């Protein structure tokens, strides 16, 4: 297979706050950047056709399948699964990954429903108990992979190790780092009881030297923005709150900056002169650029875009899907897991692992 030209992405065209009017123009932008890309589109014909007809290039690169129903943004996961299974645009975009019609599915639909359907349709990988959602986190060094940002609450030591391996495989697929550094998110205070799973995961990662990652140790909340490690691992409740806290803080500071720069005529004049610099800053902080949560641990890759994003944001999520497919994320994860479980079983056969 010619990887560079052979990537197919299935799209839930109805997903997100704006449906086809954002998803299709977004796909069209991504297509300009990756001319070999092909799409399988799922959605309601009367809503999709009028938009698709205005985008002839995209139309030529896509096949379209009518779906009689779509999942609402506020639908409960269990309800979405019950009513939308087999026939919704969301389900069918995922199913295309299962049948091999597409390499990755992308949806801007509601996260809970998407995860419920993805789990039901694709099932978790062998040895993986729980999937995770990985986010790309902009840092002062570049980008880190952070997971889980909200697939499930709580994680035991083994699940944290699974997340570490999957996150490292994703960092490798994304940035080509042979052995990404991995840190476990923790709090600084020593001897605080309660995070036994985090400590146990740390001990195991240290002992079981894995070929696919370098275990760095514990990291704290402020290490996220510093980019101390390539991959930051935590359970989904904390990860989700950390992600949204960072997003909120960025917005808050942008608001302060806007207010400061418009308050006096001197400030406005300064802003005018430094406009190029401010534009660069805005560009750097643009949340659309890192749009896309990657579902890891399932037999197939599904990417969740922000529901409220625009065409540029959707294009970024599709770019991410393309990168994951071209770089064989799923195969990388499967290979790493095989090596780990082989090693674990060898060590079990040889007695207790050595403490280092």
Site for its own copies, rule CB under 8 A: 76-78, 111-112, 115, 139-140, 150, 152-154, 185, 187-195, 220-226, 234, 236-238, 240-253, 255-257, 260-261, 263-264, 266-267, 269-278, 280-281, 284-285
Nearer to its own copies, 62 or 240 (CB): 240
Those residues with Cβ within 8 angstroms of residue 232's Cβ, 6 or more apart along the chain or in another chain: 137, 144, 145, 146, 147, 167, 182, 183, 184, 185, 219, 223, 224
211 vs 248 by CB, closer to its own copies: 248
Nearest to 296 by CA among 177, 78, 145: 145
The least distance separating its own copies from the CB of residue 183, rounded to whole angstroms, comes to 12
Nearest Cα neighbor of 217 from 227, 226, 205 is: 205
The answer to whether 247 and 287 are in contact (CB under 8 A) is yes
Tokens read off for 243: 């992600």
* 31 vs 80 by CB, closer to its own copies: 80
Taking the least distance from each CB to its own copies, the nearer of 68 and 190 is: 190
Shortest Å, Cβ 105 to its own copies:
19
CA 109/CA 89 separation, integer angstroms: 10
- Reference 5, options 31, 29, 23; nearest CA is 31
CB of 304 to its own copies, least distance (A): 11
State the minimum distance, in angstroms, from the CB of residue 29 to its own copies: 25
**Smaller CB distance to its own copies: residue 217 or 225?**
225
Q: Measured between alpha carbons, how far is 147 from 132 in angstroms, rounded to an integer?
A: 6
Asked if 206 contacts 212 with a C-beta cutoff of 8 angstroms, the reply is no
């Amino acid at each position: 297979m010619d990887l560079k030209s052979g990537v197919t992405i299935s799209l839930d065209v109805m997903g997100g706050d704006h449906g086809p009017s954002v998803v299709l123009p977004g796909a069209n932008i991504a297509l300009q950047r990756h001319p070999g890309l092909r799409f399988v589109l799922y959605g309601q014909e009367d809503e999709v056709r009028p938009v698709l007809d205005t985008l002839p290039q995209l139309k030529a690169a896509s096949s379209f399948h009518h779906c009689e129903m779509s999942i609402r943004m506020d639908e409960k996961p269990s309800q979405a699964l019950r009513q939308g299974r087999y026939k919704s645009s969301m389900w069918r975009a995922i199913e295309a990954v299962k049948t091999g019609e597409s390499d990755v599915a992308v949806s801007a639909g509601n996260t809970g429903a998407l995860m419920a359907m993805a789990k039901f349709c694709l099932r978790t990988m062998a040895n993986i108990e729980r999937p995770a959602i990985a986010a790309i986190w902009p840092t002062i060094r570049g980008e880190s992979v952070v997971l889980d940002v909200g697939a499930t609450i709580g994680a035991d030591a083994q699940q944290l190790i699974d997340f570490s391996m999957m996150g490292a495989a994703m960092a490798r697929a994304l940035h080509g780092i042979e052995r990404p550094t991995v840190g476990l998110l923790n709090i600084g205070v020593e001897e605080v009881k309660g995070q036994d799973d985090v400590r146990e995961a740390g001990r195991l990662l240290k002992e079981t030297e894995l070929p696919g990652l370098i275990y760095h140790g514990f990291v704290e909340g402020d290490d996220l923005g510093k980019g101390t490690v390539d991959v930051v691992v935590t359970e989904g409740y904390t990860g989700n709150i950390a992600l949204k806290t960072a997003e909120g803080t960025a917005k808050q500071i942008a608001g302060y900056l806007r207010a400061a720069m418009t308050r006096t005529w001197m400030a406005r004049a300064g802003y005018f002169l430094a406009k190029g610099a401010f534009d660069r800053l805005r560009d750097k902080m643009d949340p659309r650029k890192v749009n896309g949560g990657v579902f890891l641990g399932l037999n197939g890759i599904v990417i969740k875009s922000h529901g409220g994003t625009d065409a540029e944001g959707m294009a970024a999520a599709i770019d991410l899907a393309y990168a994951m497919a071209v770089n064989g994320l799923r195969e990388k994860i499967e290979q790493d897991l095989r090596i780990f479980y082989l090693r674990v079983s060898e060590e079990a056969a040889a007695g207790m692992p050595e403490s280092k």
